[in-house]
Structure 1
């Protein structure tokens, strides 16, 4: 059965920007098959070239219930780790303003890190996932991952108020010495959020709103989705519904949502991506300097291995908060970030192309829902 297809407003035709319209038909057919198989709950995407949006479509369901409304191009979705790209940009802003420097010891700002074990960890290490701190649960395919730091800290605080979430993250030995291995660490980004708050004098969430979301006009991006808009949020499970309801219960003692907290839309993520593609500015608002954009999207790792999630990379490339893996047909220099659930933001500066997608699924990540669509998208460039 063909899925109901919803197309959003466009400001260009594919042929106007040198793109093969038939590849969009192939992309839709690919997503439809995955939805029919039950691999995906829904799929939505936006593609632009040279700043012109020529594709914006959605299909499938907004919620996991059988009687759910349809997923729409303007639907809201938690984008999880794409939040890290916003955190990286915030750090870049503070470097632009002379308030931080890249190789500054994190301990110079966070007293909990001022000890012999953590003093050598720098802002660079936290940004590049090379701090040596614990990786996310399951990074090494371990069968029994450690409890998630956000929840662990809350439980410990009930027993001992002197133990905050930072001490939970920093407890135990380092997994590697700083700079020696790429270990994906959301907890490291929580520490970056704390650094942003300490330097700016605002909460991390307020800083992101004031310095990135509001200037860019990203009016449908939130850490706490207004209750009146909850019916517009795509979720794939009951625990994501609970997560949505919990989002407005955070206290000042909770970790900043710097690693996985944002909810957003295709259009808002496109604005953020286009800002990066434009060298740090969008619609007359400068967010980052061109040099900061270049710094963030350049490889900074050399002979650093990545052995997580079944990988065995001996020389893994990574920017300052941005992935630089050049898969399949993407141009060299393409940078990106993905989010659990699954979502993605890809930026190709050679082709001046931005690709944003949401592929919500109860199965989580699959190659056919992430890697194969990306190949279809880039194969349409004429």
Structure 2
């Protein structure tokens, strides 16, 4: 990366992790088969003031799904199964919604027609922070029992619609174990991690906690990081721990079309099949996002295809993405949640490609949020309101006595001069327009407000 691009990236990263109070972050950018940028910020352990390094180990959450998908594709390549095989051909699970079989490909692409069953959410929140629902599914086989009524929960026929289904990837891990004759974790270790030289990537608690650079997992409570714990027990849907150095090798495998360092793990056609869009996803960031096999596909990232995936287990977050046509990839890891690492990853990729990251829609929205957040007054201070951000949502709060209410504002259009938001109250749409030049002003319903602080 060019020196100017590095400076812009580091300024952006520091600003975002400081604002979100993330304990640490590590990032690696791969260009042309080599690591072009490598840096860590913050502390992997705040209490002991231990700095994070590019070797620091974090949980990668659902980025694990791409490893699971790759393992399945290796078995397909070896002729041990077909993507069209019904899952119940191999596992004792009832998965025939509306009488139609759920296939291996349906699970890989989250198109089984079954909405999320919430196993991962209940397990992770229960293990990490003692959630309202405790789901003691101690091993993957327990998920088969948990899914006994899943086919009746379906709302679409297999292949018709995308529903992100963590449970489906647990089944894929069990499928890998059954057909390979070894535990899922051992298969991935022997067939993917070791050949790539990913020597400090782990599934087991014993191995991870023996690593001297394991990051302490943190849970943000009221904006302050509190030491927590990693939900060991999740496996093929989100249980891998790794570091950005190892993940740079993993990225090189995809950028090398199945080969890296003279080692070929799969044929080029396998990588291309994983990158082929299957279904549109409900979250549209840049437009046209679809899911392939273990990866999200964004068709137009500055005119190029971007392949990526995010991951979160509350106490660790991750983003891994690459642009096949340009040979550029990025891995970002953190030991807390609070700011989407996909934004940092895409910002880094834009700079690596020589593009302007300010054209990313979320960057413009964040800049507007920074400008408009504050306290406003109407004429002569008769009415006071406060504009603040919670999560990714902008709120307008009337703070004057007798007028107190809090209203969410949703973005409609943004220019350098103005930003138009709207809300819906009682079925009625109301606009909220901000003037951004010089002093910031807000027009909402009958009022004009001027930002005072």
TM over 0.5: yes
Contact 1:107 1:119 in 2 (8 A): no
Partner in structure 2 of residue 180 of structure 1: 160
- C-alpha contact 1:136 1:184 (8 A) present in aligned 2: no
> Aligned partners of 1:21 and 1:131: how far apart in 2?
46
Alignment correspondent of 1:17: none
1:86 to 2:67 alignment: yes
Structure 1 CA distance for aligned equivalents of residues 148 and 351 of structure 2: 43
CA distance in 2, matches of 1:135, 1:370: 26
1:272 to 239, 243, 250: 250
Structure having greater relative contact order (Cα 8 Å, sep ≥ 6): 1
For 1:173-197, what per-residue CA distance to the aligned partner results, in whole angstroms no more than 9, with x for missing partners?
2243222221111111001111111
Identify the match of residue 325 of structure 1 among 294, 298, 311: 298
Deviation at 1:114, TM superposition (A): 6.3
1:102 to 2:83 alignment: yes
1:213 corresponding residue in structure 2: 193
* Structure 2 counterpart of 1:121: 102
Q: What residue number does 1:196 align with?
A: 176
Structure-1 residue corresponding to 2:308 = 336
Provide, for residues 85-116 of structure 1, a one-character-per-residue CA deviation record: whole Å limited to 9, x for no partner.
00000011011111111111111111223666
The residue that corresponds to 1:70 in the other structure is: 51
TM-score with structure 2 setting the length: 0.66
1:26 counterpart = 2:1: no
- Identify the range of structure 1 (313-322 vs 118-127) with the bigger mean alpha-carbon deviation: 313-322
Q: Does 1:242 align with 2:224?
A: no
Long gaps (5+) in structure 2 = 128-132, 220-225, 357-453
Q: Aligned match of 1:131 in 92, 102, 112?
A: 112
TM-score (norm 1): 0.78
Change (3 A) 1:112 1:76: same
Give me the whole-angstrom Cα distance separating, in 2, the residues matched to 1:120 and 1:113. Answer: 9
* Residues 314 and 297 (structure 1), Cα distance of their counterparts in 2 relative to 1, 3 Å cut: closer
Aligned to 1:55: 37
User: Which is richer in strand?
Assistant: 2
Cα RMSD between the aligned structures?
A: 3.3
**1:379–1:191 distance in 2 versus 1, CA, 3 Å:** same
Q: Distance in 2 between matches of 1:156 and 1:281?
A: 37
Establish whether residue 354 from structure 1 lines up as the match of residue 329 from structure 2: yes
Closer, same or farther in 2 for the Cα pair 1:115/1:36, shift >3 Å?
A: closer
For residues 97 and 207 of structure 1, do their structure 2 counterparts lie closer, same or farther at Cα, with a shift above 3 Å needed? same
* Aligned partner of residue 310 in structure 2, secondary structure: strand
For structure 1, the 5+ residue unaligned runs are: 1-13, 15-19, 140-144, 158-162, 251-255
Larger radius of gyration: 2
SS in 2 for 1:180: coil
8 Å contact from structure 1 (residues 236, 360) kept in 2: yes
- C-alpha separation in 2, matches of 1:369 and 1:295: 27
